[in-house]
Amino acid sequence: MNVGFVGTGTMGQPMVANLIRKGHAVLAYDIVPAALEAAAALGARTAGSAAEVAKRSELIITMLPSSPHVDAAFVGPGGVLEGAAPGHLCVDMSTIEPATSQRIAAAAKTRGVRFLDAPVSGGLPKAIEGTLTIMVGGNPTDLEEARPVLAALGSNIVHVGPVGSGEVAKICNNLIAGVAMVAVSEAFRIAEGFGVDPKILTEVISKSSGNTWAMLHGHPVPGMVPTSASNRDYAPGFTTDLMAKDLGLAVNAARQLRVPVCVAPAAQQLLRLASSHGLGRKDFSSVYTFLRPSSDRAPV
């Protein structure tokens, strides 16, 4: 199928590569020339604007860093909605505010254009493997139409509900994942202060009510779990910056919904601080290193 692809940055490039590998013709655009050249080097044709991509593609995928970027790419000048004809199908795979997805979907609908939100999880490693999890919001029939293309990108494609639901699932999952990682880090710092063996503690918790994916698969203490980022100096994985962003999306969504939230903003701000102090591009489990105790000369 002729696939348009807007946003060929770090995550977009391996996705474009997988689409081409599976036999799709890709027409690409990125506002950053170097990113667009990278897509060309992978075998994509290139366009001069998102609108041009939209005009010449039946299915348009967007993969952009934030809500304002997606807004600009769809409803800004030269944006997708300028070029897309009635019946075209847009799949936004960016992680953004659910309310933005809903607003853009409504704008698309007035032009007869269909829209799915389809954020991904799994990070760069699974983008490269083509084994992302894709959480989809929108019309199920539209998803079925997009599925053969999405299958080149991810191995677990879930329909969550109406437009925006994919984003909601993503940010709700990451809210829990981010908070749990901080909680695990706090717990192991306390245990360490008492001299308790982290291996035994991991074993105990893994069989009890404190068990979490964060500890089992992303253990922040080096040497506990073979595959965790903590064993490779916290090379991501999923960066502190991205987790701070996703927690921020969740907290801001809560604000707009008037839902009180307490641990999500605490974790968000801690990761934001960790980013300010040099851990932004490390795996988010590096928050454990940030939570080091004060000098034992500090009064208590």
Question: Does 199 qualify as catalytic in the annotation?
Answer: no
Binding mask 229-258 toward its own copies (x if CB under 8 A, else -) reads: ---------x--xx-xx--x-xxxxxxxxx
Angle of helix 240-257 versus helix 165-193 axis, rounded to 10: 120
Residue range at the interface with its own copies (CB under 8 A); choices 18-26, 76-84, 146-154, 159-167:
159-167
Name which of residues 191 to 210 contact its own copies (CB under 8 A). 191, 193-197, 200-201, 203-205, 207-210
Q: How far is the CB of 281 from its own copies (least distance, A)?
A: 9
The rounded distance, in Å, linking the Cα atoms of 252 and 265 is 9
Q: How far is the CB of 73 from its own copies (least distance, A)?
A: 15
Asked if residue 109 binds its own copies (CB under 8 A), the reply is: no
Name which of residues 163 to 192 contact its own copies (CB under 8 A). 164-165, 168-169, 171-177, 179-180, 182-184, 186-191
Name which of residues 127 to 146 contact its own copies (CB under 8 A). 133, 135
Residue of 22, 55, 109, 170 marked active site: 170
Contact with its own copies (CB under 8 A) among 14, 79, 98, 138: 98
C-beta closer to its own copies: residue 139 or 252: 252
C-beta closer to its own copies: residue 57 or 121: 121
Q: Which tokens is 279 given? A: 């851990």
The rounded distance, in Å, linking the Cα atoms of 42 and 191 is 49
- Of 124, 113, 117, nearest to 170 (Cα)? 117
In which element (H, E) is residue 115 found? Answer: strand 114-117
C-beta closer to its own copies: residue 142 or 241: 241
Name which of residues 274 to 293 contact its own copies (CB under 8 A). 275-277, 280, 290-293
276, 33, 120, 257 alpha-carbon torsion, rounded to 10° = 60
Q: How far is the CB of 226 from its own copies (least distance, A)?
A: 17
Residue type, 21: R
Residue type, 58: E
Q: Which tokens is 176 given? A: 């829990």
Residue type, 180: A
Q: How far is the CB of 259 from its own copies (least distance, A)?
A: 5
CA 55 from centre of chain: 27
Asked if residue 31 binds its own copies (CB under 8 A), the reply is: no
Place of tokens 């953004």: 96
The rounded distance, in Å, linking the Cα atoms of 246 and 170 is 8
- Of 91, 14, 106, 6, nearest to 47 (Cα)? 6
What φ, ψ does residue 111 adopt, rounded to 5°?
Answer: -105, 10
Asked if residue 263 binds its own copies (CB under 8 A), the reply is: yes
**8 A C-beta contact, residue 47 and residue 26:** no
Contact with its own copies (CB under 8 A) among 66, 131, 139, 231: 66
Residue range at the interface with its own copies (CB under 8 A); choices 21-29, 145-153, 154-162, 227-235:
154-162
Q: Which residues are catalytic?
A: 170
